[in-house]
């Protein structure tokens, strides 16, 4: 069972052990509209908390995707290259961007849980 955390920039990480699936929140994809392109990080790339880890483009805008934690990219969601609309269909499920091996689990404590994230987006 994974536990999900959010950034104030609307990325999420679904943590399962020492790994996490990273993507954008349902709220973010609704704000973006129809997603048409996603630039994913390379497998083996290092991520740093708060640094750019990808780009998502929609019919409305392009937005940077920031890493929620420091770690190493161990897998990317190749299905998004052929079908970026998966993000609109299931942002926090099949529309994940990449899988990261978490370097420092203590960084998760700085992220928002679901209740805190809901409060953040309702502001």
For residue 112, what pLDDT is reported? 98
Domain that holds residue 47: 3-121
Q: What is the DSSP letter of 51?
A: S
Task: List, in sequence order, the alpha helices (H) in 13-100.
Answer: 26-32, 79-82, 86-90
- The domain total for the chain is 1
Q: What is the DSSP letter of 68?
A: S
CATH classification at residue 9: 2.40.50.100
List per-residue pLDDT tens for the chain, 123 residues long: 579 999 999 999 999 999 999 999 999 999 999 999 999 999 999 999 999 999 999 998 899 999 999 999 999 999 999 999 999 999 999 999 999 999 999 999 999 999 999 999 998
């Amino acid at each position: 069972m994974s536990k999900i955390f959010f950034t104030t920039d609307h990325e999420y990480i679904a943590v399962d052990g020492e790994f996490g699936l990273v993507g954008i929140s349902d709220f973010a994809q609704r704000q973006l509209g129809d997603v048409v392109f996603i630039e994913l990080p390379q497998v083996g790339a290092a991520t740093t908390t708060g640094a750019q880890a990808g780009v998502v483009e929609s019919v409305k805008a392009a937005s940077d995707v920031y890493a929620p934690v420091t770690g190493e990219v161990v897998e990317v969601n190749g299905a998004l290259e052929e079908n970026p609309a998966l993000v609109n269909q299931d942002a926090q499920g099949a529309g994940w961007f990449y899988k990261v091996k978490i370097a420092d689990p203590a960084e998760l404590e700085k992220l928002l849980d679901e209740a805190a994230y809901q409060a953040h987006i309702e502001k």
